[in-house]
Structure 1
Amino acid sequence: MSAGVPDSAIAAWSPDDNIDNTSDPRVRALSWAILAPNPHNRQPWLIELQGEHDVVVRIDSQRLLIHTDPFSRQILIGTGAMLGLMDIAAKQFGFNTETIWFEEGRFDRNSIDSKPVARVRFTRSNEKPNNDLFSYITRRRTVRSNYDINSPPSKILESALLSLDTNTINNRIIVKQPHIHLFDSVKRIAKEAWKIELTTPETYLENAQLLRVGSMEIAKHRDGISITSPLLVAFERFGLFDRDRFPPLESNIIKTQLKAFNETIDATPSFFVMTSFDNTRITQLMAGKTYVRAHLMATKYGFVMHPISQALQEFPEMSQLYSDIKQILISETFSSESTVQMLCRIGKPANGQAFPKPSPRRGLEAYYV
């Protein structure tokens, strides 16, 4: 059992090699859209091509995170990110997109169903493509390693990120100086939230069952969380890592993960925060569109990002930290419905940290219905 990510699992990251340039523009755009960041790499999208111009997107109910994301807020953000990349790619290929949200009715606040999330209509554009973010789609990575604590975002990147603000969505960067108390509070809450997610049986097991350990599993599933550590692959091979059993809290597997995450948080020069005025389903989707553009901008300027969403999760054991993070990050001018949609580390990888391979993707054909 090899530990590396096999090329077959990341073939989708070379969309030009997989899609004929003369093919349906919707298919071309979708081949780039599926590279969007999404929670736990669930890739929860069902896609239907209707007529000659439309793409209808639904949520795959078999790919939800029922414990860590019980109301599917993060799932909608990941779907918004996919739709955001579809818009960017369509423009690059000479097409405008018009989106109709929830044409058969919106999901309720607490669940989702099989109704369409979006109908995206492609129309030919007479404008010359002028979106430099497109070229960074295949370069974007979620980098979970240690960052250089002396390399917070540049002023030009910070300005670019703040330019993404809308009437509903607000972005900000938090650095240690001059925000030392806020910065330290975010670090503390992030660490405590990871401990809760890791030591709550339901969320631990949900995460564990989405691990793909070693190249054979990664190639088979092409989703979830890829594990390539030779040590963990060896543990799996010899039956020392049971993904169907919640380990004792004092076990090495719990202690090791807590220690590693805490070290990662300590090696963070700054945080990217996205808040919203309300928390409607459309706002969640728009948060995803905004986030993927922010991540592409960071990539453009030589920075990387890493969502740390544990404190934003809405399962019961997280309720106090969920309240705490909202209290410190949301402006008093916002409403009672205001929500922290994204919390991310942002910086540059520390010296010696390898740049990761992209996350696996199942390939465009897997999403069609």
Structure 2
Amino acid sequence: MVSRRQILVTGGASLLLLGGGFGAYVGTRSIAKAQQPWKQAAKGFGDPRLDALAYAILAPNPHNRQPWQVRLEGDDGFIVYCDLDKRLPHTDPPNRQITIGFGAFLELFRQAAAEKGYRAEISPFPEGEPEPVLDSRPIASIKLVQDPSVARDPLFSTILNRRSTKEAFAPRSVDDAIFAKLQSMAFAGQAELTPSLITTSDVEQVEKLKELNWKAWSVEYDVARTQKESVDLMRIGAAEVNANPDGIDISGPMMEALRLGGIVSREELATKGSTAYESGISMYKEMLDSTSSFGWLISPDNSRTTQLQSGAAWVRVNQAATALGLAMHPVSQILQEFPEMADLYDQYHDYLAVAAPARVQGFFRLGYAAAPEPSPRWPVETLLLNV
């Protein structure tokens, strides 16, 4: 099996072969343009809706698809729709994960509006819950009402620092006292949220969950159509990331070397046995093996409205983790609903004693690691339908 060290050595050799000027070239590759929305959120636009939307678009969402579209209504309202081309038909056939992303989006909007003294009146699915997949009906309608008495959310201050940390964690588990703080901070003042958070650092349970997660990740990686869905959404190098700042960002100086050296490309990533393909396996296994703690969210049912609530709970847990100095990384492959995953999906729910209509809505690693750079985002103005 090819290790991360081996692919980096190979990439370094390619850089040398390409000549001395190449190092200077890759050193200039930056995705700062694609990260600009994180800075713009702090600056604002002067319109309370756009100011809050600038924070909402920073929400975590599957494969960083950023499926939100917004139609402004009057002076104080707007409608949120799903960009149907941003769904994940192979890994997320019922659009459950995409809907959870919208829940995170709406929660960050609510927090940002409250920070400016506005109450966000959010009506989910005003034309009915779309089933079996999302359609052209709106996800939510929102109206802002100026209200000096609206409670500010203490988690708002974490939005710009929140990350999904897709890296190996330090060899240190999360203790029960930190878990208790995580629970308290994430759900403080949120009695209406029905999903519940479960966490563990129990060695035996963590090992079993790692085993199940590894099997699930391997299934997604081995099934051609699900692996291709991810590969097609990879933005390889700074030029691709800046031109199309959604999908899966794989940039940085070494990635520029690997890309220009022909070692990393979509074709190579999709070819079983290639250096790039095998390195993906090695890198994920190394990351998973470093895990000493897990968490998961259980909902009482699986309605679309509950999925939105699960997204709100998800991002709040992520924000609370940020405040506590914890890294958090979603590993929800085992929750995907394509046929080849069905047996593992059932094994996982049985192991956690979660029976229908309840279900696990999110599964994630928790631990300690340095925070990565912010993920690319489309600017707010590109998501407005009537501008």
For normalisation by structure 1, the TM-score amounts to 0.90
Structure with the bigger percentage of helix: 2
Match of 1:126 in 2: 148
Q: How far 1:166 sits from its partner (Å)? A: 5.8
1:290 is aligned to 2:316: no
> Given residue 346 of structure 1, which amino acid in structure 2 is its aligned partner?
L
Corresponding residue for residue 32 of structure 2: 7
Q: CA deviation at 1:290?
A: 0.8
3-state SS of paired residue (2:123): strand
Supply the distance in 2 between the matched residues of 1:285 and 1:271 (Cα, whole angstroms). 22
Q: What does residue range 38-53 of structure 1 map to in structure 2 within 5 Å? A: 38-53=61-76
Q: Relative to structure 1, is the Cα distance of residues 70 and 281 closer, same or farther in structure 2, using a 3 angstrom cutoff?
A: same
Deviates more, 1:289-298 or 1:162-171: 162-171
What is the aligned partner in structure 2 of residue 101 from structure 1? 124
Deviation sequence 1:324-356 (CA, Å, 0-9, x none)? 11112244xxx522211000011111xxxx531
SS at match of 2:259: helix
1:231/1:2 Cα in 2 relative to 1: closer, same or farther (>3 Å)? closer
| Aligned residue number for residue 18 of structure 2 | none
Query: Residue 158 in 1 paired to residue 180 in 2?
Result: yes
Alignment pair present for 1:35 and 2:93: no
Q: Kindly state the Cα deviation for residue 157 of structure 1 after the two structures are TM-superposed.
A: 4.4
- 1:347 maps to which residue? 367
Q: Is the 8 A contact 1:2 1:214 kept in 2?
A: no
Aligned pairs for 1:294-309 within 5 A: 294-309=317-332
In 2, distance between residues paired with 1:56 and 1:103? 10
Counterpart AA for 1:344: F
CA deviation vs aligned residue, 1:127-186 (integer Å, no higher than 9, x gap)? 26532211110011111111123241561443442663767311111112xxx3322111
RMSD between aligned alpha carbons? 2.1
- Residue 49 of structure 2 is matched in structure 1 by 26
Contact 1:330 1:340 in 2 (8 A): no
8 Å contact from structure 1 (residues 330, 338) kept in 2:
no
Q: Secondary structure, in 3 states, of the residue corresponding to 2:169?
A: coil
Please give the per-residue CA displacement for 1:5-28, whole angstroms capped at 9, x wherever unaligned: 4211101001355524xx221111
Of residues 194, 198, 217 in structure 2, which corresponds to 1:172? 198
Q: Which ranges in structure 2 are unaligned for 5 or more consecutive residues?
A: 1-24
State the AA in 1 paired with 2:127.
E
Asked if structure 2 preserves the Cα contact closer than 8 Å seen for 1:158 and 1:173, the reply is no
TM-score normalised by the chain length of structure 2: 0.86
Q: Letter of the 1:144 partner, please give it.
A: K
Unaligned runs of 5+ in 1: none
- The one of 332, 341, 357 equivalent to 1:337 is 357
- Give me the whole-angstrom Cα distance separating, in 2, the residues matched to 1:48 and 1:131: 26
Q: 1:70 corresponds to which residue?
A: 93
Correspondence 1:196 to 2:216: no
2:200 maps to amino acid: I
- Aligned residue identity for 1:358: P
Structure-2 change in CA distance of 1:11 and 1:231 (3 Å): closer
Deviation at 1:297, TM superposition (A): 0.6
Cα separation, partners in 2 of 1:58 and 1:143, compared to 1, 3 Å? same
Residue identity (%): 34
Residue 206 of structure 2 aligns with which residue? 183
Deviation at 1:126, TM superposition (A): 2.2
AA aligned to 1:2 is V
Matches within 5 A, 1:317-336: 317-331=340-354, 335-336=355-356
Aligned to 1:361: 377
Indicate which of 246, 257, 263 corresponds to 2:286: 263
Contact 2:163 2:328 in 1 (8 A): yes
Tell me if the contact between 1:12 and 1:18 (Cα under 8 Å) persists in the aligned partners.
Answer: no
CA distances 1:196-226 after superposition (whole Å, capped 9, x unpaired): 1111110111101111111111111111111
State how far apart, in whole Å, the 1-side matches of 2:116 and 2:348 are. 41
Does the 8 Å contact 1:143/1:304 carry over to 2?
Answer: yes
Q: Confirm or deny: 8 A CA contact 2:241 2:251 kept in the other structure.
A: no
Question: 2:158 matched to which residue of 1?
Answer: 136
Contact 1:194 1:258 in 2 (8 A): no
In the alignment, is residue 227 of structure 1 matched against residue 250 of structure 2?
Answer: yes
Shift of 1:267: 0.7
Distance 1:193 1:174, change over 3 A: same
- What SS class does the counterpart of residue 161 from structure 2 fall into? coil
Superposed CA deviations along residues 101-146 of structure 1, whole A, max 9, x for unmatched, are: 11112101x2110100101111111226532211110011111111
Q: CA deviation at 1:240?
A: 4.0
Q: Is the 8 A contact 2:173 2:201 kept in 1?
A: no
- In 2, distance between residues paired with 1:236 and 1:206? 20
Q: For residues 234-269 of structure 1, what are the alpha-carbon distances to aligned partners after superposition, in whole Å with 9 as ceiling and x for unaligned? A: 343244444257745333333222221111111112
Q: Secondary structure at the match of 1:272?
A: strand
Alignment match of 1:86 (pick from 109, 117, 120):
109
Name the CA distance, whole Å, in 2 between partners of 1:51 and 1:205.
42
Contact 2:77–2:141 (CA<8 Å) still a contact in 1?
Answer: yes
